[in-house]
Chain A
Amino acid sequence: MRKLFTTDHRSLGVLYLLLSLAAVATGTLLSLLMRVHRIWPDTPLPLLGLMKPEDYLALVTMHGTLMVFFVLTVAPQNGFASLVLPGQIGARHMAFPRLNAISFWLMALAFTILISAFALPSGAPLSGWASYPPLSAIASAGPGQGTGMDLWLLSIGIFCVAAWLGAVNLLATILGERGAGMTWSRLPLTVWAWLTTSILTLLVFSVLLAAAVLLFSDRHFGSSFFVPLNDVVNGHVVGRGDGSPLLWLHLFWFFGHPEVYIAILPGMGLATSLFANFTRRRVAGYKVMAAMLVAIGGLGLLVWGHHMFVSGMNPYAGTAFALTTMAIAVPSTVEVIGWLSTLWGGGLRLTTPMLFALGFLSFFIAGGLTGPILAQPALDTYLHNTFFVVAHFHLIMAMAGVFSVFAGIYYWFPLMTGRMMNDLLGKLHFWISLIAAYGTFLPMHISGLAGEPRHYERLAGPVVSFSEILPNERGITWSAILLGAAQLLFLWNLFASAKRGERATENPWQATTLEWAPEIPRRRIERGPYEYENGGTESMFRPQWESASKQE
């Protein structure tokens, strides 16, 4: 029990990661059910029976919500930051240890509330993770839109508070708890990423919380923020005020787009650190790389309208948002070229965490390159809400994000358990996941170009059958099943290594950043974060906890 109600930042980091493990396992199962249903829509599934259209949409909604909030926010931001942030900046603890615990328990509560929607007789909500009103505002608009939608709003509301408290804590820790000598240019790039994401979290989760409160008020207190006058749902006039559904889109995507960067920036910082470590090279252009992380976060606040090119938003606004979105491709390109440049000389130490960091890079490029295509409103007119978009964000956010989380887990596992994860299993896990992930998400571009919309529970409708993409869809489903199965290797490795894994040596990766210091340094920090002997395969490196005068 003491371990459960801990305020110790490392233990809380592990708890956050376990929470997102539960969420990712659930979310993955839901996605496999969706994939199976899409290619065999009339086959009853074991235990679940025949899936109804509303069941499919509930799976989509819950899959998206779990993955975006409880996996891609909790693991990279709260999990890893709790685990290593204080160590990396030479602090003994987070600025507010109890707040950290409260934040975790609120997230666990939000997760439980969300999952409980499946137990409702009317089912889980079906309006997608973006929950556009009036569909999400009117209980009679669909099954699951009553109590199910209320639970969704409650869960998201609590999550917003928890994320907000977590971000306050991260920000206070980074600003106030750095050890002596830990100047801005000595921070590892992960810390720069967390600095950026915690500011983003403060700004955008508060907007989402406000939006959720307004929507809840529309549902229960007779207000009309999002429901227009004379709206008719299910034969009844429900719109009595003069609300605007478009307002929700603006509020939601003002949150929703920066959320993508909250999910991916820590992974970008981590990948930079791992590339330096496993090439034994300094980061090419440290200051530029840090500045670009911040620039991506800043520009990320100005691009939300690219989700709304066909929403009825003013077309001039479409032009403005297209330009800001194109602009964000520039710092992202600088980051990628920085990584490719660090890697160029070869001689990589291909450890499991390094492989996953390379996988992150591969997906970041694959998904990133379709970004500028979708940022062109004229092309988005065709591609919006097709599987092309599904492919795009699953590569850049889901796969790149999850591979960076895997990299972090394999890398920091010794800090959590004092043991190493099995290398052979780790490498198998990597290669199967990489191939299966490409097999799942690359062909989705083809379905999208063929015009297949998202959220379709079956390919064949009353007018169009999409039979020409059925073989493609079958391949996607089989790849997804393989991708899911490969994660069993990871689970096995995780739990077996925690118990019986090889004991980790001190600083097993020969890293330079402070979380690997044998003890919290009492001395002033006098070094930058990545002092590797450039190009050397020998263990020539100068950890941040060593003094500058000590020469090797």
Chain B
Amino acid sequence: MPWAPFNGSLEGARIDRLLLYNLIAFAIVFALAQVWIIVVMLRRKPRGNGLPAALRWAMIAVFGVLYIWTGIAAQRLWANSQFAGPAPEAMQVEVTGAQFQWYFRYPGTDATFGAVRSQLVDAASGNPLGLDPADPASKDDVVSSLLVLPAGREVDLRLRSLDVIHGLFIPGMRLKENAVPGMILHVHFTPQTPGTYSILCSQVCGLGHARMQARLLVVPEKQFTEWLGVREHLRQAGLAGGVSRP
């Protein structure tokens, strides 16, 4: 699609197609209606009493069908992505928004996210999420400021916010969901095409809103395993709770 950033997700293609159909349909209606207005302005000599009622209702019926079609088509997409959860084997990554930074946490070899405590949040000393060292499950959690995902595997994002409402927006994955403090929200998608994609904040969150951005790196499975292995290793080597820079 020339009008939008390159789509790299499995689900995005259908969204793009539906959006394109919508834009074409409504652009045609827009043009016809504007032509109608111009034509009636040019018709200096009055004739008739307006359209017959039957024709009016026929036009309304056409629009009714258009709305029902778009409604059903869109609901099917929505139901596919939202009514069913991710596959059980989907990869788990936690995304946390904080003024004005995105953090991505991988659960580590135990496949369990360790406990976090707000009282322990301290970005300056390297524990931006407040990982609780007393919880054994947190010992192997990897926290990154870069989101790296393997191509072709479904991902289940676990969305949180520490402070205010943020909006996780990955245009190249056609994905958006707010990160709301006090709630844990899940969205799932399948990145397909390897490459670099931008991650933005789409909900005004304070003075740094426009620079609250991060990168998504979609890489082949093998490269992903290597990357995560290195992070795990650094983590075990005692880099306590820290954000591993890419």
Q: Which residues of A approach B to under 8 Å, CB–CB?
A: 52-54, 57, 60, 126-128, 132-135, 138, 141-143, 227-235, 237, 239, 242-246, 279-282, 284-285, 310-312, 315-316, 318-319, 322-323, 326, 329-330, 333-334, 336-338, 340-348, 350, 358, 361-362, 365-366, 369-370, 372-373, 375-379, 381-382, 384-386, 446, 449-451, 453-458, 461-464, 534-537
> Is the CB–CB distance between A345 and B165 below 8 Å?
no
Give the contacts of B160-190 with A (CB-CB under 8 A). 162-165, 167, 169, 171, 174-178, 180-183, 185
> Is the CB–CB distance between B182 and A310 below 8 Å?
no
> Is the CB–CB distance between A231 and B213 below 8 Å?
no
The docked-state distance in angstroms from the alpha carbon of A88 to that of B121 is 64
> Is the CB–CB distance between B77 and A378 below 8 Å?
yes
Give chain B residues whose Cβ lies under 8 Å from the Cβ of A53.
207-211
> Is the CB–CB distance between A450 and B3 below 8 Å?
yes
> Is the CB–CB distance between A456 and B209 below 8 Å?
yes
The docked-state distance in angstroms from the alpha carbon of A312 to that of B168 is 12
> Is the CB–CB distance between B206 and A141 below 8 Å?
yes
Say if the beta carbon of B222 comes within 8 Å of chain A: no
24 A-B Cβ contacts within 8 A? A53-B207, A127-B204, A135-B165, A230-B117, A232-B98, A233-B99, A235-B121, A239-B182, A245-B165, A245-B180, A311-B178, A336-B33, A340-B37, A341-B50, A345-B50, A350-B41, A365-B33, A372-B66, A376-B70, A384-B176, A457-B209, A457-B210, A463-B199, A463-B214
Contacts A135-B164, A381-B174 given: A463-B5 contact, CB under 8 Å?
no
Contacts A312-B185, A333-B63, A341-B51 given: A347-B207 contact, CB under 8 Å?
no
> Is the CB–CB distance between B34 and A347 below 8 Å?
no
The interface-forming segment of B19-27, B133-141, B236-244 is B19-27
Give chain A residues whose Cβ lies under 8 Å from the Cβ of B79.
319
Task: Pick from A282, A285, A318: contact of B78, CB below 8 A.
Answer: A318
Nearest A residue to B171 via CB reads A451
Contacts A239-B181, A369-B29, A455-B204 given: A461-B213 contact, CB under 8 Å?
yes
> Is the CB–CB distance between B53 and A285 below 8 Å?
yes
Instruction: Give me the 5 closest cross-chain CB pairs, A-B, nearest first.
Output: A228-B182, A346-B43, A347-B46, A376-B74, A451-B171
The docked-state distance in angstroms from the alpha carbon of A346 to that of B163 is 59
Task: Pick from B23, B43, B122: contact of A347, CB below 8 A.
Answer: B43
Give the contacts of B192-206 with A (CB-CB under 8 A). 198-206
Task: Give 5 new A-B contacts, CB below 8 A, not counting A379-B74, A382-B171.
Answer: A322-B75, A346-B47, A362-B37, A372-B70, A377-B75
Nearest A residue to B185 via CB reads A312
Q: Could you give, for residues 10-52 of chain B, a 1 whenever the CB lies within 8 Å of some chain A CB and a 0 otherwise?
A: 0000010011001100100110011011011111111111110
Nearest A residue to B75 via CB reads A319
A543 to B: closest C-beta gap in Å: 20
Give chain A residues whose Cβ lies under 8 Å from the Cβ of B167.
310, 384-385, 453
> Is the CB–CB distance between A534 and B49 below 8 Å?
yes
Say if the beta carbon of B112 comes within 8 Å of chain A: no
Interface of B is mostly: mixed
The docked-state distance in angstroms from the alpha carbon of A464 to that of B172 is 12
Of listed A128, A228, A461, residue having the most chain B CB within 10 A: A461
Give chain A residues whose Cβ lies under 8 Å from the Cβ of B109.
none
The docked-state distance in angstroms from the alpha carbon of A95 to that of B119 is 58
Say if the beta carbon of B225 comes within 8 Å of chain A: no
> Is the CB–CB distance between A237 and B119 below 8 Å?
yes
Contacts A348-B41, A382-B15 given: A310-B176 contact, CB under 8 Å?
yes
Nearest A residue to B36 via CB reads A340
The docked-state distance in angstroms from the alpha carbon of A242 to that of B178 is 19
Give chain A residues whose Cβ lies under 8 Å from the Cβ of B19.
373, 379, 382
Give chain B residues whose Cβ lies under 8 Å from the Cβ of A245.
165, 180-182
Task: Pick from A228, A347, A361: contact of B37, CB below 8 A.
Answer: A361
The docked-state distance in angstroms from the alpha carbon of A164 to that of B136 is 57
Task: Pick from B83, B123, B169, B171: contact of A316, CB below 8 A.
Answer: B83
Give chain B residues whose Cβ lies under 8 Å from the Cβ of A127.
204
A377 to B: closest C-beta gap in Å: 5
Task: Pick from B56, B180, B211: contact of A341, CB below 8 A.
Answer: B56
Contacts A350-B41, A379-B19 given: A463-B198 contact, CB under 8 Å?
yes
Task: Pick from B40, B118, B198: contact of A348, CB below 8 A.
Answer: B40
Nearest A residue to B212 via CB reads A461
The docked-state distance in angstroms from the alpha carbon of A337 to that of B194 is 48
Say if the beta carbon of B4 comes within 8 Å of chain A: yes
Say if the beta carbon of B64 comes within 8 Å of chain A: yes
A303 to B: closest C-beta gap in Å: 13
Q: Could you give, for residues 60-83 of chain B, a 1 whenever the CB lies within 8 Å of some chain A CB and a 0 otherwise?
A: 100110111011011101110111
The docked-state distance in angstroms from the alpha carbon of A230 to that of B43 is 67
Give chain B residues whose Cβ lies under 8 Å from the Cβ of A376.
18, 22, 70-71, 73-75, 77-78
> Is the CB–CB distance between B182 and A344 below 8 Å?
no
Nearest A residue to B216 via CB reads A463
Of listed B33, B42, B47, residue having the most chain A CB within 10 A: B33
Task: Pick from B59, B201, B202: contact of A384, CB below 8 A.
Answer: B202
Say if the beta carbon of B158 comes within 8 Å of chain A: no
Contacts A322-B71, A454-B204 given: A347-B177 contact, CB under 8 Å?
no
B43 to A: closest C-beta gap in Å: 2
Nearest A residue to B168 via CB reads A310
B183 to A: closest C-beta gap in Å: 5
Say if the beta carbon of B153 comes within 8 Å of chain A: no
B232 to A: closest C-beta gap in Å: 26
The docked-state distance in angstroms from the alpha carbon of A499 to that of B24 is 50
Give chain A residues whose Cβ lies under 8 Å from the Cβ of B201.
453
Task: Pick from B5, B46, B171: contact of A280, CB below 8 A.
Answer: B46
